[in-house]
Amino acid sequence: MAVRPLIAPSILSADFARLGEEIAAIAHPGETRADWVHVDVMDAHFVPNLTLGLPVVEALLKSTDVPLDCHLMIDDPDRWAIGYAEAGAYNVTVHVEAANDPVKLAKDLRAAGAKAGLSVKPGTPLEPYVETLKHYDTLLVMSVEPGFGGQSFIPDVLEKVRTARRLVDTGHLRLVVEIDGGINAETIEQAAEAGVDCFVAGSAVYGADNPGLAVAALREQAARHRAN
């Protein structure tokens, strides 16, 4: 498991007209600093919503030194994901439901300079992809249906987290276990107990009066309840 819980605020819940300022609010040194900035890329095909793409990510990379965690909820990630890695994203996550050749894609993302992440929807089982995950650096377990922010946490997905945690702890996998969807002060504790390393939080951070303090509080909560 990671040395300390990682908090990745999702800018899907930020003010898109002030993205630079919104990221700066969680980039100050110390406990209020986010570990990653989670960037949801949606194409209105793989998911019904449409958000932002590579040009915005390139602009954000110039404006912050907080690592960007790009979650691509898009069709044909085999074609498009490499551009995000080449631009300088720290972690690029694709959906196993959309990737044509996830093993090759992981190798290509790493060769382009990024960590490779694989995401599974709430209804997608983990077991068929354990061998595939040996090629990845991050497993992103979706705890809501991808496509929109502000949804309610689905607790049933925590069984996948527990499975992944066991596989990591026994050495079968070497990756960061990340969760995305409905993470807040009420749900982060059960996610931490299940074995999550990295917590994506949207409105729990950007709906707070002080986003940086919200990051610190969530990290402290996760640390108190993390799996041993």
Active site residues: 40, 180
Per-residue 3-state assignment (H helix, E strand, C coil) for the chain: CCCCCEEEEEHHHCCHHHHHHHHHCCCCCCCCCCCCEEEEEEECCCCCCECCCHHHHHHHHHHCCCCEEEEEECCCHHHHHHHHHHHCCCEEEEECCCCCCHHHHHHHHHHCCCEEEEEECCCCCCHHHHHHHCCCCEEEEECCCCCCCCCCCCHHHHHHHHHHHHHHHCCCCCCEEEEECCCCCCCHHHHHHHCCCEEEECHHHHCCCCHHHHHHHHHHHHHHHCCC
Q: Find where tokens 């709906």 sit.
A: 207
Of the candidates 191, 199, 228, the residue with the CA atom closest to the CA atom of residue 216:
199
Of the candidates 112, 172, 119, the residue with the CA atom closest to the CA atom of residue 142:
119
